[in-house]
Structure 1
Amino acid sequence: MARKKMVHVRRVYEAPAQADGARVLVDRIWPRGLTKEKAQLDEWCKQVAPSTELRKWYGHDPERFTEFSRRYRNELKDPEHADALAHLSDLAKDRSLTLLTATKQPEISEAEVLADLLRS
């Protein structure tokens, strides 16, 4: 039986936790005011981030999250996004994976959509 993948979503500004495993930033834009040292990332996978057009349309409006999630899942089918998603899935195979985002509401971010996909 396959082991359920441990995928977490956190803000990149939070201090790393013991259980984080691989720490991957999934935003297209580097977080404001954060140095690479302070972020303590394993990698930055901006290829998996939503398109600029989709990100701007969404604007982290909670009422648009369901539609954003649907549109973003559609974007994830294009080759560049699909390759990046497959890479994240590989990272999550043998260890915990923490998807990092700069948004103030990670529960309605692309990181949450990705985590949901990776867990299933």
Structure 2
Amino acid sequence: MTVRVRRVQEPPEPDDGVRVLVDRLWPRGVSKDAARVDEWPKALTPSSELRRWYHAGEGSYEEFRERYEAELAAPEAAELLDHVRELARKGPVTLLTAVKTPQSSHAAVLARLLGGP
């Protein structure tokens, strides 16, 4: 299973496989044609409250990860997570995000849960 995280601003690569945007909002300055997004499961993204809390610097990444994983246990999110996991079993999946530090973001949490790095 190959799951990787890339910034949506980076040009698509041939080995990206299925490109999944994991941000709630469409990234500024990126056209839909240039992004080449195959799926956009908004229910997999952190809640607005959790996102605001984390970006306000009120908690650690570990606490954010725990809270986000709890949100991902909700039925709709869990179903979407299973769907993306099934895509990853069939071929490469690239999780796309606009965050500047993907390694300490929700995308990294998703990649780990999906069996990526």
Deviating runs (4+, > 4 A) in structure 1? none
Alpha-carbon shift at residue 43 of structure 1 (Å): 1.4
Q: Which runs of 5+ in 2 are unaligned?
A: none
Aligned to 1:34: 30
2:97 is equivalent to residue 106 of structure 1: no
Distance (whole Å) between structure 2 residues aligned to residue 43 and residue 83 of structure 1: 14
Matches within 5 A, 1:60-99: 61=57, 64-99=60-95
Distance (whole Å) between structure 2 residues aligned to residue 16 and residue 44 of structure 1: 16
Q: Is the 8 A contact 1:25 1:99 kept in 2?
A: yes
Distance of aligned partners of 1:60 and 1:85 in 2 relative to their CA distance in 1, 3 Å threshold: farther
Identity %: 51
Distance (whole Å) between structure 2 residues aligned to residue 6 and residue 84 of structure 1: 17
Q: Which amino acid aligns with 1:35?
A: S
Matches within 5 A, 1:14-25: 14-25=10-21
Alpha-carbon shift at residue 71 of structure 1 (Å): 0.5
Alpha-carbon shift at residue 76 of structure 1 (Å): 0.5
Distance (whole Å) between structure 2 residues aligned to residue 92 and residue 20 of structure 1: 11
Alpha-carbon shift at residue 60 of structure 1 (Å): 7.5
Count of matched residue pairs: 115
Q: Is the 8 A contact 1:12 1:100 kept in 2?
A: yes
Distance of aligned partners of 1:39 and 1:68 in 2 relative to their CA distance in 1, 3 Å threshold: same
Distance (whole Å) between structure 1 residues aligned to residue 18 and residue 56 of structure 2: 25
The RMSD of aligned alpha carbons is 1.4
SS of 2:79's partner is helix
TM-score normalized by structure 1? 0.90
Q: 1:58-88 deviations in whole A, cap 9, x for unaligned?
A: 0185x62111001000110001111111111
Aligned to 2:5: 9
TM-score normalized by structure 2? 0.93
